[in-house]
Amino acid sequence: MSDFQNKLHQQPLLKTITRTYPVQGKITRTHREDIQFEQITFTGFLVERDASSTKSVDFIDQVWMIMKNIFENTTFSMTKGGIIIGELPKR
């Protein structure tokens, strides 16, 4: 697996590569016949992540707009814990 990881890091971003390696082995299964294998194949692509910036979402306005459009005449509120409470319109 280390060899595949090294080759992956030599590729351009998002280019998919596949490598097959000869490996003798078996997968032992409980109450079933073992599975013999002679090779393993890895497929992957390299991505770059930027975790340096802080991201946030303001749920209050977005939830209110969605609920207003879908559920006319129904009032919904959201607790700090994220639980949505709805009241049916009075008839």
- The residue type found at 46 is L
Q: pLDDT digit string (tens) for 20-73?
A: 999 888 888 888 888 888 898 888 888 887 777 776 655 554 455 555 555 566
Please tell me the predicted confidence (pLDDT) of residue 81: 67
Number of residues that this document lists for the chain: 91
Q: In the chain, which residue ranges form alpha helices assigned H by DSSP?
A: 2-8, 59-70
Q: What is the largest CA-CA distance in the chain?
A: 72
pLDDT at residue 90 greater than cutoff 70: no
Please tell me the predicted confidence (pLDDT) of residue 46: 87
d(CA 44, CA 46): 7
First to last CA, the chain: 66
Asked if residues 44 and 16 have their Cβ atoms less than 8 Å apart, the reply is yes
Q: Which residue has the higher pLDDT, 78 or 46?
A: 46
Domains of the chain, residue spans? 2-44, 57-91
Please tell me the predicted confidence (pLDDT) of residue 10: 92
